[in-house]
Amino acid sequence: MQTTRQNLLGLILSHSSTTAKELREQLGVSQVLIHRHLKSLCEEGKIQKIGSPPKVFYVPKSPISYSKENFPSSEVIAENWLEILPNGKFVYGEEGFYLWCQERKLNFSEQQKEYERIFLEKESVKHNGLIDATRKITTSFTTNFLEKVWYIDFYSWEIFGKTLLGKLVLYAKQNSDEQLMKSISKYIRKPLCDLLDTENFDLICIIPHSVPRKKDFLSTTLSFLSLQPRPEHLFSKVFAGHAVAQKTLKSKKEREQNAQETLMLNKKVLPSKILLIDDACGSGATLNIAAQKIKEVAPNAQVFAVAFVGSIKGFEVIADS
């Protein structure tokens, strides 16, 4: 005779998804007993819970599973990999990397070595946790208005695609997810705060979103850091007609035109040393135009810029996919 636990597991495995209420009604047992069995089955990896109250569903565990004992461990991957599954589940570290390899039918050990090699290569260009993108960005324009440009991380790599920070930025912006913004603040805290301690900026300026969003990504993310001076909205984004997202513009010329015609300076009296903060830097057009507009009213001002993530190969235009 099957136990309640076995019957419960059988029902979940025979359905694509089910709720605790449906299971309780079918089995005729108490809510406490149902939740006790569901918790233990989740912990054993036989089923998985998706969603959050009041919409929580239980589904069969994916047949693809990762066993740490079967693969060499990697501290680099454990700390720097994020795989986002089609159902929205975030899988960090080696398990996520294993799923990435399985999806592409790639050998885990070989890809692990390649990832570690590329990671060390990219880390070697960082100084105090920042990537100096000044030369790549400033030489892209006929006239440059920026003193220096930094990235906290690259947006994506060859082979492995978007970095952990790149993925978090993309999904946090798309979904206006405050919890993800809080996670991002932990990754950017040290390099950004160290930069502020070293450079002593008079003003921190947040670059506005190119299209309206439910939640201001940069303001919310930076609010978790309690930065001094407090970041300000020095610019407004104003369109003659419909809003046009920068990422939809493929050429540097179009992006420069977009920034020039839609980025409006709110103040006319400005201090001498200013830091612009943006979430992602592709061509650098927005940052350079913002610096130009500042120098038009404050010719002697020094304008610096930092982006959470930036493009890697020649700092080409980022196009989110």
**How does residue 10 score in pLDDT terms, banded at 50, 70 and 90?**
confident
279 vs 245, higher pLDDT: 279
**How does residue 282 score in pLDDT terms, banded at 50, 70 and 90?**
confident
pLDDT of residue 318: 44
Q: How buried is residue 29: exposed, middle or buried, by Cβ count under 10 Å (0-12/13-18/19+)? A: middle
Domain with CATH 1.10.10.10 in the chain: 4-60
Q: Determine what percent of the chain is predicted with pLDDT higher than 70.
A: 89
Q: How buried is residue 84: exposed, middle or buried, by Cβ count under 10 Å (0-12/13-18/19+)? A: middle
Q: Do residues 75 and 81 make contact, with C-beta atoms less than 8 angstroms apart?
A: no
Amino acid at 120: L
> What angle do the packed helices 108-123 and 93-104 form, to 10 degrees?
120
pLDDT of residue 319: 44
Chain segment 132-188, per-residue pLDDT in tens: 999 888 888 889 999 999 999 999 998 999 999 999 999 999 899 999 999 999 999
Chain segment 227-258, per-residue pLDDT in tens: 999 999 999 887 655 555 666 666 777 777 77
Q: Which of 41-50, 93-102, 256-265, 267-276 has the lowest mean pLDDT?
A: 256-265
The position carrying tokens 């979940």 is 12
Q: Which of 113-117, 233-237, 241-245, 262-266 has the lowest mean pLDDT?
A: 241-245
Domain with CATH 3.40.50 in the chain: 126-310
pLDDT of residue 248: 61
Look at residue 26 and tell me whether its pLDDT is greater than 90.
no
Chain segment 198-226, per-residue pLDDT in tens: 999 999 999 998 777 788 999 999 999 99
- Domain 126-310: which CATH class? alpha beta
Q: Which residues contact 288 (CB under 8 A, 6 or more apart)?
A: 137, 138, 141, 144, 145, 146, 256, 259
Q: Determine what percent of the chain is predicted with pLDDT higher than 90.
A: 51
Fold of 4-60: Arc Repressor Mutant, subunit A (1.10.10)
Furthest C-alpha separation in the chain: 84
